[in-house]
Chain A
Amino acid sequence: MRRVFDTGNAAITEAAIVAGCRVFAGYPITPATEIAENMARRLPEVGGYYVQAEDECAALHLCNGASLGGLKAMTATSGPGFILFADPFGWAVSAEIPVVIVDAQRVGPVSGITGAPGQGELYLSRYLAHGGNYETIVLAPSSVQEAFRLTVRAFALAERFRTPVTLLADQMVTDGWEALAIPETSDERAAMGLEVVPRRAHPGPDFYPASDAIDVPPVVLGRGAGGACSDWTPTERGHDTEEVEAQHKHAHRLIHKIRRHRHLIDEHEAWGLEDDPEVILVSYGTPSRVVKSAVARARAEGLRVGGLRLVSLWPFPDHLFARRARYLSVELNWDGQLVREIQRAMSPGSSAHFFGRCGELPRVAELCEASRALLRGERLARRGWELEAY
């Protein structure tokens, strides 16, 4: 085990190498540039390839192409580049190509503030491909060590589900420094619960099972066996078709291979839910660490407060909101994104509330204050912002 004090960006790089990533194509962008720089240094050492693409759209297409040839690939970006992934992301979803995408969320909209954390891409990460008709997998780390673990996991899920997997990080995780243990042997990986799924190759010709099966090897070209793979609605052979029946089967597969196996994806952390709290603070990524401290402090004060940290964001964990409570969504944005999903998923009699912040993390004291106000049944308002629009 190698123990270092380093950034989330370094953790993601080392984890990708451990997971077998051998191609990184990217385009420099704050605060994800360091991942590209690290990959440029590390990949040649392990016989892998770093390519600096002409733009982010090309970067993900390059990764898709490498994966189509049998190499595991990853790219990393931030908001302005993430939006340019839309085209190749959709291609990878439809062609069922495993690839890993890192988005270090910063403050938007558009270029916004480069070196400060935001959480504005919850929905974009779900709906990045146009046209609907798919489900996707998104994971959110909240620490440097977890960024390592979830990157390895993202690669494993990408392989098993034949799909792009997005690591939705934030600037605090990617740029933040923390202790990091890097396993160096397979025993150490196993001890840390890290699963590395090797690339299996399906040379063709049939590779679109009309079922929700997972662990189907992705198509790999180059063996001349008649593999076929495109952006069109495929037949089971991968040929393009305009038949509505084939489209139904394809969409059904893209949606349900993930939804029906979501137990392999779902991951969360809960604090104090066993005590039937009245108020539950919900968050993901770095803000959840402040939430954890706030829940601990509130509970120490005897307040009926609990916390939920979402690790897997999509498919959205509706089942976590079955209990009747006042949910307070703590997010690094001002428009409220997670809170909308909570409002949709929560049980009757529950209410959803919003604590927004952007560019910096909330403070423990503020979250305790907001929790107390909710327990008193008061509305949350701060500096003229109507935070309880939900």
Chain B
Amino acid sequence: MDPLAGKYLRPEKWPGTACPGCGLRLLHREVLTAIDALGLGPSDLVWGTAIGCTGRQTYATWRGDTFAGTHGRVYALATGLRLALPREKRILLTVGDGDAFTIGLPHLLAAARRNVDLTVVVGDNLGYQSTGGQYGVTTPAGSRTDSSPYGTWEPGWSDGGLDVLGIVREAGASFLARHTVLQRDAVVESVKAALGTRGFSLVQVVYGCHVHYGAQALGDGTVGAIQGWIRARTVPLEPGPAPEVAPAGFRTGVFHDARGARPEFTERLRDHVAAVRARAGRTS
């Protein structure tokens, strides 16, 4: 067993449910590398997941406490949990692109607006893959998938100048980054920064599904094919304001860093409660 996995994961859940060669396994390990680099142990971090490939791969693998929410709702569940946990406990959520940016987006934005101390790692496999390969909001424009046999026709969150991370930034997030799973060191650095953020942080990691997306959209279902394709489409984020029309491809880098700029959700709430109690002559 991989030594990092042996240190942090439940042996009976290793190597997990992802297909052989899947970038999700790389991502899982990159997250562990970041946790290890921060010197965190099982009792320092509660690990939540959603459903789909990312949820299945990562749920109940962590030796510490772990939970899974329903599709798209884990941000609300984690917000409630945040209320009950002491501030030094980290909450990490590993979720998919559908969970974060489609069905769960309103809840995710509410968590960003409140600046809830959560770290969301989005394993972006470019669509709905655990259901067999349907297009989602991060599927590149025109892609052929099982639910877009003639190519996708509706815009996603990365088409025509849109960028979903811009929405999350405007909602009030403290730290946002996007990388491909092949940018190992950058993913580790961003996850470390995210876990060190006192507030809402999110790292989107594009890995693409070679089994479905590779076969359906690229015509080649091998790991090598999707990795080559991802590498060829990776462009660095331009510093400064976002270009009016974003270049096609995966714009990677730290998207937004406003760590410490806004008070965190539970801090704000605890201050509010303390102020009410002080006014009422009680000590908290």
Contact present between A and B (CB < 8 A): yes
Interface residues of chain A, those whose CB is within 8 Å of chain B, are 23, 25, 43-45, 47-49, 51, 53-55, 57-59, 61-71, 73, 87-88, 90-91, 95, 203-204, 221-232, 237-240
- Partner of A231 from B69, B78, B86 at Cβ < 8 Å: B69
Q: Identify whether the interface residues of B are mostly helix, strand, loop, or mixed.
A: mixed
- Partner of A228 from B67, B82, B273 at Cβ < 8 Å: B67
Whether B85 is near chain A, meaning CB under 8 Å from some CB there, is yes
CB contact list, B73-127 vs A, under 8 A:
73, 76-86, 89, 106-107, 110
Whether B132 is near chain A, meaning CB under 8 Å from some CB there, is no
Decide if B77 touches A65 in the complex (CB within 8 Å).
Answer: yes
B92: min CB distance to chain A, Å: 12
Decide if B69 touches A226 in the complex (CB within 8 Å).
Answer: no
**Other A-B pairs, 11, CB within 8 Å; known A221-B66, A222-B85, A230-B67:** A44-B273, A45-B280, A54-B106, A58-B106, A62-B77, A64-B77, A64-B80, A69-B82, A225-B65, A228-B65, A230-B49
* A68-B107 CB under 8 A given contacts A58-B73, A228-B65, A240-B60: no
Whether B242 is near chain A, meaning CB under 8 Å from some CB there, is no
Name the A residues within 8 Å of B59 (CB-CB): 228, 230, 232, 239-240
Whether B13 is near chain A, meaning CB under 8 Å from some CB there, is yes
Whole-angstrom CA separation of A238 from B83 in the bound complex? 23
B117: min CB distance to chain A, Å: 13
Decide if A47 touches B110 in the complex (CB within 8 Å).
Answer: no
Decide if B276 touches A222 in the complex (CB within 8 Å).
Answer: no
Whole-angstrom CA separation of A260 from B60 in the bound complex? 31
Decide if B68 touches A232 in the complex (CB within 8 Å).
Answer: yes
Nearest B-chain residue to A58, judged by Cβ: B76
What are 25 sample pairs from A and B whose C-beta atoms fall under 8 A apart? A23-B84, A45-B282, A53-B76, A54-B106, A59-B76, A61-B70, A62-B77, A63-B80, A65-B80, A71-B83, A73-B80, A91-B70, A203-B65, A221-B66, A221-B81, A222-B81, A223-B65, A224-B43, A224-B44, A225-B64, A225-B65, A228-B67, A239-B10, A240-B56, A240-B68
Whether B284 is near chain A, meaning CB under 8 Å from some CB there, is yes
Interface size class on chain B is 35 or more
Name the A residues within 8 Å of B231 (CB-CB): none
Decide if B69 touches A61 in the complex (CB within 8 Å).
Answer: yes
Whole-angstrom CA separation of A73 from B76 in the bound complex? 14
Decide if A226 touches B76 in the complex (CB within 8 Å).
Answer: no
- Partner of A68 from B73, B80, B277 at Cβ < 8 Å: B80
* A230-B60 CB under 8 A given contacts A58-B110, A65-B79: yes
Whether B11 is near chain A, meaning CB under 8 Å from some CB there, is no
B94: min CB distance to chain A, Å: 13
Decide if A226 touches B65 in the complex (CB within 8 Å).
Answer: yes
Decide if B84 touches A69 in the complex (CB within 8 Å).
Answer: yes
Whole-angstrom CA separation of A237 from B73 in the bound complex? 23
Decide if A221 touches B82 in the complex (CB within 8 Å).
Answer: no
B17: min CB distance to chain A, Å: 9
Name the B residues within 8 Å of A44 (CB-CB): 272-273, 276-277
Whole-angstrom CA separation of A51 from B49 in the bound complex? 23
Decide if A54 touches B107 in the complex (CB within 8 Å).
Answer: yes
Name the A residues within 8 Å of B63 (CB-CB): 226
Decide if B276 touches A45 in the complex (CB within 8 Å).
Answer: yes
Nearest B-chain residue to A239, judged by Cβ: B60
Q: Which of B67, B107, B284 has the most CB of A within 10 A?
A: B67
Name the B residues within 8 Å of A71 (CB-CB): 83-84
Nearest A-chain residue to B80, judged by Cβ: A65
Name the B residues within 8 Å of A227 (CB-CB): 65-67
Whole-angstrom CA separation of A194 from B49 in the bound complex? 38
B18: min CB distance to chain A, Å: 14
* The 4 nearest A-B residue pairs measured at CB: A69-B84, A65-B80, A224-B43, A230-B68
Decide if B77 touches A68 in the complex (CB within 8 Å).
Answer: yes
Whether B258 is near chain A, meaning CB under 8 Å from some CB there, is no
Name the A residues within 8 Å of B280 (CB-CB): 45
Decide if A221 touches B73 in the complex (CB within 8 Å).
Answer: no
Name the B residues within 8 Å of A240 (CB-CB): 56, 59-60, 68
* A49-B269 CB under 8 A given contacts A58-B110, A228-B60: yes
